[in-house]
A and B are shown apart, each in its own frame.
Chain A
Amino acid sequence: MTMIEDRLEEAARDVRQAMAGVAARSAGQVKARRQRQNVVAALTVTVVVAAGFLAVERAINAGSMADPVPPPVAAAPADDTTPNTVEVTPAPEKTEVARYWAAVLANWVDAVGRMNTFGPYERELGASPADFSETGDARTAEGALAATVISADAALTVTAEFHKRAEDQDGRAAMEAEVSELMADDATRHVDTIGHGHNLDSELTGEVELAEYFLTEPDRGSALMTVVFSRGRLEVKVDATDPSQLLTQDQIVGIATGMTGTAHSLIWDPDHSLTFTVWEPPEPTDDQWVPLDDDVSIAWVDEGGNDRLWVRTDIQEPTPAVSSDTRSMNAYAGDEFVVIVLGPPIPDFVTVIWDDGSSESSQLDWDTELDIGLARFQARDAALVSVEGP
């Protein structure tokens, strides 16, 4: 054996040893979390991204069916137009595997919801700062969609769907050529197209499958999750899970809010699917907008007794507040970053913290008639982290 062959053998041994460490670490994490939180924990899982669709029962039928759990707790009826309302249809049968994967889903949804602080990557994806709340949660369907579209499969699917729907034959041919290039290993252009596809999503009227995930853990079973963009809404469907058995309604609301920042519905149906829907609040009518100055307007929209604040600027589409309880919002206007605070009370100053570690404070200008404070900052390349009062 030559010297280089010896070196290759040695290098291979190093890799094999590293892989052995991977398995040990993974199993250790799962075990530790089980001890702490039983199956209702966010377990470390293996997520496999699928290119196609697998039958629901196929993935789950082999799971333990010998451990049924009590019937679910009744929850409020679903109403697509009412924020924070959850319907849970009683499940005829549940399994340990189903409980486990429902916890996994909760963890995944929560993680996606919390990852969307606006930054360069989201900018590449075509999202705007307005799609994310001060705390980094996606607060619009656009924001939630941007997170999912990070998946390259999702981008390809969205783009391919647009191709199919493009009326202009030349445009379709051009985009088909673009997809061919993507498939030919052009990663840079691929990222560009993610943004392109994202910007075009409003033109999609049908259901578009964005991504599909096969969740598996060797000793726990498997489940399938699909993410679709349908009629302006983002939906996450999971097979054979019943979240009502392991999550309270408040927890479900929290997860959903973490993902969308707005309202939602979450329905478990007898077909063993969980549908998570981004709810889009009704937009203000033209006569509801109140101009604060030349380039910033706000509006309140009654949602059955609760008013939700909206803001729009010269460069930003109408954007709803995270909830009707939201007392402050921010928006980009021209080359400025504007913070709006509802009173009373109105603080004297607000501080903006950017992700590069810097912070800035500015005095709030009062509008005593509207009881609103307004502060302006020079817009920065750095992503916003938070807005804090004095």
Chain B
Amino acid sequence: MTIKDTEHQPDAAAFRESFEAFYTREIKAVIGLAYVLSGSRLGAEDLAQEGFLAAYRHWDRISRYDDPGAWVRRVVANRAVSGFRRRKAEAKALVRLRTPHHYVPEIPAESDALWQEVRRLPLRQRQAIALRYLDSLKTDEIAQILECSENTVKTHLRRGTERLASKFTTGREDWT
């Protein structure tokens, strides 16, 4: 991850204005990423916001990155695939909301089933696929987030889509 040398240390007002603009711009996409990787409609929001909070805590540094959104996605992508983190986020959501409540609306069953299969893929494959398709990121951008080479990302994407295709092969359609 490259860092811009802005040489500018924002004051408190600028600090928060900058963070809130970033938050407003990115929050929906990051919740979506948390959702497809965790499968938790209840905990996706909290998972996403854990990522933003992490950014907030280091915002004077993170804000100088070329793409702070990539940094948040890395945090969320790593946390969302952890069962422990997911359960924790759900528990927090329950505390906050008092009763079970799904912040994320349902998506069509067919798409939901596909994301379920994505979540069954090996860790890096599912992260790469989520970032590629949900955020429409290019290979180099995914490589930056996952901290690996572009070739590795290509391999993860290829193997992941092959596995998915094999799962969804019906005999009538060629998914590959």
Whether the Cβ atoms of A187 and B87 lie closer than 8 Å is yes
Whether the Cβ atoms of B45 and A46 lie closer than 8 Å is yes
CB contact between A151 and one of B27, B91, B99 (< 8 Å): that residue:
B91
Whether the Cβ atoms of B164 and A4 lie closer than 8 Å is yes
Whether the Cβ atoms of B50 and A49 lie closer than 8 Å is yes
Beta-carbon contacts of B60-104 to A below 8 Å, as 1s and 0s?
A: 000000000000000000000011110110011011111100011
A190 to B97, CA, bound (A): 21
Beta-carbon contacts of B94-127 to A below 8 Å, as 1s and 0s?
A: 1111110001111110110011001000000000
Question: Cβ of B146 < 8 Å from any Cβ of A?
Answer: no
Whether the Cβ atoms of A49 and B92 lie closer than 8 Å is yes
Nearest neighbor of A65 in chain B, beta-carbon distance: B13
Question: Cβ of B1 < 8 Å from any Cβ of A?
Answer: no
Whether the Cβ atoms of B16 and A222 lie closer than 8 Å is yes
Whether the Cβ atoms of A54 and B57 lie closer than 8 Å is yes
Which of A15-23, A316-324, A340-348 contacts its partner? A15-23
Residues of B within 8 A of A221 (CB): 16
Residues of B within 8 A of A58 (CB): 12, 15
Nearest neighbor of B49 in chain A, beta-carbon distance: A48
Beta-carbon contacts of A14-53 to B below 8 Å, as 1s and 0s?
A: 1111111111010000000000000000000011111110
Main secondary structure of the interface of A (DSSP, over half): helix
Question: Cβ of A314 < 8 Å from any Cβ of B?
Answer: no
Residues of A within 8 A of B96 (CB): 47, 108, 111
Interfacial residues of chain A within 1-20, with CB under 8 A of chain B in the complex: 2-5, 7-12, 14-20
Whether the Cβ atoms of B32 and A16 lie closer than 8 Å is yes
- Tell me the total A-B contact number using a CB cutoff of 8 A: 164
Whether the Cβ atoms of A11 and B88 lie closer than 8 Å is no
Whether the Cβ atoms of B95 and A15 lie closer than 8 Å is no
Which of A178-186, A236-244, A281-289 contacts its partner? A178-186
Question: Cβ of A268 < 8 Å from any Cβ of B?
Answer: no
Residues of A within 8 A of B94 (CB): 150
Sample (12) of A-B pairs whose CB atoms are under 8 Å apart: A2-B175, A8-B118, A10-B111, A14-B107, A16-B134, A20-B28, A22-B103, A49-B49, A57-B12, A62-B12, A62-B13, A218-B20
Which residues of B approach A to under 8 Å, CB–CB?
Answer: 12-17, 20, 23-24, 27-29, 31-32, 35-36, 45-46, 49-50, 52-54, 56-57, 82-85, 87-88, 91-92, 94-99, 103-108, 110-111, 114-115, 118, 129, 132-134, 136, 161, 164-165, 168, 173-176
List 8 additional contacts besides A8-B132, A216-B23; criterion CB under 8 Å.
A4-B168, A16-B28, A18-B105, A49-B49, A50-B53, A150-B94, A152-B91, A187-B83
Which residues of A approach B to under 8 Å, CB–CB?
Answer: 2-5, 7-12, 14-23, 25, 46-52, 54, 57-59, 61-62, 108, 111-112, 114-115, 147-148, 150-153, 182-187, 190, 214, 216, 218-219, 221-222
